[in-house]
Structure 1
């Protein structure tokens, strides 16, 4: 049986990417609960995508890094 990609050593190596992902996820959750902007759909979607796109990119980068570590 093949070992999992996310063993203990790998998780320690990629924790520098997991911590910012948790912070970004917190801000997305906070933004969805209370929006600091007026109720304009374009502004809300733009602000949300400015959080979601880096989160997805960082998640992909973290997975690729874990795979190669």
Structure 2
């Protein structure tokens, strides 16, 4: 197992998940401050819940994917 968390190549691989995560964070902030559709307790809470839960799950998935990539690269380097 690698002593570093993620190296440069692993971070580049994980950028694929970072872009949608940034988009979700942008929309949470935009809808929290601008609120173009007004506030309806049920709809707005559901909207924020879906976006925030999806962003949290994506960040957890990204962490475990990075961990798996790092471990696989370490195993390949050890085998050589």
Q: TM-score range by the shorter chain?
A: 0.7 to 0.9
Q: Tell me: higher relative CO, structure 1 or 2? Use CA pairs within 8 A at least 6 residues apart.
A: 2
**Which sections of structure 1, spanning at least 5 residues, go unmatched?**
none
**Cα distance in 1 for residues equivalent to 2:25 and 2:67:** 23
8 Å contact from structure 1 (residues 21, 55) kept in 2 = yes
**Cα distance in 1 for residues equivalent to 2:38 and 2:27:** 18
4+ long deviations beyond 3 Å: none
- Highest CA radius of gyration, 1 or 2? 2
Q: 2:27 aligned with 1:27, yes or no?
A: yes
**Cα distance in 2 for residues equivalent to 1:36 and 1:51:** 17
Q: What TM-score comes out, normalization by structure 1 length?
A: 0.86
**Which sections of structure 2, spanning at least 5 residues, go unmatched?**
70-80
Q: Which stretch of the first structure deviates more once superposed, 31-40 or 55-64?
A: 31-40
Q: 2:64 aligned with 1:64, yes or no?
A: yes
Q: What TM-score comes out, normalization by structure 2 length?
A: 0.76
Q: CA RMSD in A?
A: 1.3
Aligned residues: 68
Query: How is 1:1-69 mapped onto 2 (pairs within 5 angstroms)?
Result: 3-69=3-69
